[in-house]
Amino acid sequence: MSISQPIPTHDHTQIELGFLRKYIFSEDHKMIGIQFLFSGMIFLFLGGALALLVRLQIGWPYGNLPMVGNWFPASWGGKMSPEFYTMIFSMHATIMIFFVIIPWLTGAFGNFLIPLQIGARDMAFPKLNMLSYWVMWPSFILMLISFFVAGGAAGSGWTAYPTLSSAAMPDGMTGSPASPNSGTGQVLWLISLLFAGVSSMMGSVNYITTIINMRCPGMTLMRMPMTIWAMFVTAILQAMALPVLTVAIILQLLDKTIGTTFFLPPAGMAFGNWHTGPGGGQPLLWQHLFWFYSHPAVYIMILPAMGMVSDIISTFARKPLFGYRPMVYAIAGIAGLGFIVWGHHMFQSGMDPRLGTGFMIATIMIALPSAVKTFNWLGTIWQGNIQYTSAMLNALAFVSMFVIGGLSGIFMAATPVDVYIHDTYFIVAHIHYVLFMSTIFGIYAGVYYWYPKMFGRMMSETLGKIHFALTFLSANATFYPMHIIGVGGHPRRYFDITIYDTFQHLQPLNAFMTVAAIILGFVQFIFVANFFWSLFFGKKANRNPWHSNSLEWAAPSPPPHGNFEGNVPSVYRGPYEYGHPETQEDYLPQFEPNGPKDTPGGSH
């Protein structure tokens, strides 16, 4: 009853499963992680293609789109329609956030790394784990179907604010308050996110239980790698924030289907002879409930990357992580503060101004733990024996891009400044610096770093470095100018800004960004080529190719079912004993019984 580690009743390595059980309906955390990785990759390209369409429209408004234009209905004349534009930027955000970043970070890396790094044979509930992946599929399918229903997919932004999203007009009415796509497309969007939420919730409950109860002997909380700490805190964030989004989604779904009016204004909305319904609700309430989840979700989308980058930087700087405990407390601090800052998305929505002040102070306070993390990464690199592998380069890019994204965040946190830059491209620049450039670089770093463990082969370093350099340059060329046009007043989500004389001078910069974005998009194929080429022809990896310390490197590459041969390893020290003065090698694995004993938190 109280034994947390299941004792293997049979030798795990001996089990041979059929193809279906091994690769499709697998209960093995590693396979589920890889499944999440692949489905995330598919949607990365779908979301990226949508982003390029958005950029094409902004770069050359009403331009005849090459190739893509042929796919549009003949009545559009090869040009994009405004409704189509709102649809693609909404779906770009939805897909990137819910189907790429979150599944990659918590689904792929969380699943793959948690049992390996804490020395467990599998998750606490393997069946629940399998379910959490397969519940994603209804979500994927519904979202894809929504592109083909009448009116198209949801087009009211990924935030789906009522009344834009919920007050659907009957057919034939003009002057609608709602986005034209807010009919069936929006309903499917809501149901799809409901499934995604259930999947995330099952995952997070499983991760927390696993991390609390399944650690191998000796793996105390303060000996866990930062990745695990980050996953743990992320799972807690998800468990506590997601239900609120679930409620919001359900209420909006009821509004749209059975005629409740939770998010319609008190007297309803009348348009000629047509009326949205009796009203009595609050449009602002949706924003509160939505951001109560979606702000913590922003941290869900970066904390795991922070954890992984901490491990990678420490490994390749061949130095202990600077300030392990402060790093842990900083993650917890970011998570805690993350729950009380959602209002900074709503400074301009007519929220009570007194709340705005509180939210502003709390938001600016998040800079403190974030700065602790950044300076600790710098402290880790300082005087280190840095190895510039692809993983390390991507991790360093994460840190630098996080600094830029974080600093631009402080502008928005201050209410007076936010009044000016709210809903401009400054916000777009900020979100892409944090979510695209930080998190995706973090994910790439993770893929390069753990690829040998996942597939037993090394990725090509040359291709990796080319991919990194081109991505870094083109991403900065794409997103940095957004700060400039944002401060210039360029509003976000506008179909065509050239009709305003004020913004005419920003147009050349827009065209430049579009070119950079196209390059950025195509550069990613180098990564895919590298990924699949290495899958078959990469150099065979040994157990510990990076001479790293944490527990996953004690397992074979790739680890068999059950992860560790024989007994699960025991842990004798923290995971960051690099360059220890008393050892011959410059690393000292956690699972190595001989050698200097623990220095708490890995600091010297």
Residue with tokens 């790093």: 327
- Stretch touching another protein by CB under 8 A, among 66-74, 250-258, 439-447, 488-496: 250-258
Residue type, 177: P
Which range in 101-109, 183-191, 238-246, 582-590 contacts another protein by CB under 8 A? 238-246
Among 63, 78, 268, 491, binds another protein (CB under 8 A): 268
Please tell me whether residue 3 binds another protein under the rule CB under 8 A: yes
CA atoms lying within 13 Å on the CB side of residue 27: 12
1 binding another protein? (CB under 8 A): yes
Site for another protein, residues 210 to 229, rule: CB under 8 A: 212-220
Structural tokens at position 566: 């024989």
Contact predicate 591/569, CB 8 Å: yes
In DSSP notation, 466-499 reads: HHHHHHHHHHHHHHHHHHHHHHTT-BTT-S--TT
CB of 124 vs another protein, minimal distance in Å? 4
What part of residues 326-355 is at the interface with another protein (CB under 8 A)?
Answer: 339-340, 343, 350-352, 354-355
- Write the burial class of residue 41 (CB in 10 Å: 0-12 exposed, 13-18 middle, 19+ buried): middle
CB of 588 to another protein, least distance (A): 17
* Burial class of residue 258 in the structure, from the number of CB atoms within 10 Å of its CB (0-12 exposed, 13-18 middle, 19+ buried): exposed
User: In this chain, which of 38, 76, 137, 274 binds another protein, going by CB under 8 A?
Assistant: 274
Distance CA 106, CA 114 (A): 10
Considering only residues 401 to 440 of the shown chain, the ones binding another protein according to CB under 8 A are none
Q: Of 161-200, which residues contact another protein (CB under 8 A)?
A: none
- Using rule CB under 8 A, residue 361 touches another protein: no
Q: In angstroms, how far is CA 222 from the centroid of its own chain?
A: 26
Answer yes or no whether residue 4 interacts with another protein by CB under 8 A: yes
Determine the number of helices (DSSP H) and then strands (DSSP E) in the chain: 20, 2
Instruction: For Cα atoms 352, 296, 336, give the angle at the middle one, nearest 5 degrees.
Output: 90
Burial class (CB in 10 A: 0-12, 13-18, 19+), 166: buried
Q: Compute the least distance from the CB of residue 592 to another protein, in Å.
A: 12
Q: Terminus-to-terminus CA distance in the chain, angstroms?
A: 39
**Of 108-127, which residues contact another protein (CB under 8 A)?**
124-125
Q: Under 8 Å CB-to-CB from 253, ≥6 apart: which residues? A: 187, 190, 191, 194
* Interface residue with another protein, options 8, 277, 379, 489 (CB under 8 A): 277
Spatial separation of the C-alpha atoms in residues 139 and 134, rounded to whole Å: 9
DSSP 367-393: HHHHHHHHHHHHHHHTT------HHHH
Q: CA-CA distance, 450 to 23, in Å (whole number)? A: 19
User: What minimum distance in Å lies between the beta carbon of 270 and another protein?
Assistant: 4
Residues whose CB falls within 8 Å of the CB of residue 511, separated by 6 or more in sequence, listed in order: 59, 60
Shortest approach of another protein to residue 183 CB, angstroms?
A: 18
Q: Provide the mask over 555-594, with x wherever binding to another protein is found by CB under 8 A and - wherever it is not.
A: ---------------xx---------------------x-
The size of the interface with another protein (CB under 8 A), counted in residues, is 71
State yes or no: residue 7 binds another protein (CB under 8 A): no
Return the range that interacts with another protein (CB under 8 A); candidates 254-262, 381-389, 432-440, 546-554: 254-262
Structure-token pair, residue 536: 């078959």
User: Which listed residue (46, 51, 248, 312) binds another protein by CB under 8 A?
Assistant: 248
* C-beta of 78 vs 218, nearer to another protein: 218
Q: Which is nearer to another protein, 284 or 417 (CB)?
A: 284
Contact assessment for residue 189 and residue 97, using Cβ atoms and an 8 Å cutoff: no
Instruction: Tell me whether residue 57 or residue 261 sits nearer to another protein (CB atom).
Output: 261
- Only segment of 25-33, 207-215, 368-376, 484-492 that touches another protein (CB under 8 A): 207-215
Cβ proximity to another protein: between 103 and 197 the closer is 197
Pick the closer one to another protein by CB: 145 or 351.
351
Distance of CA 290 to the CA centre of its chain: 17
Q: Which stretch binds another protein (CB under 8 A): 3-11, 47-55, 406-414, 441-449?
A: 3-11
**Contacts to another protein from residues 291-310, by CB under 8 A:** 292
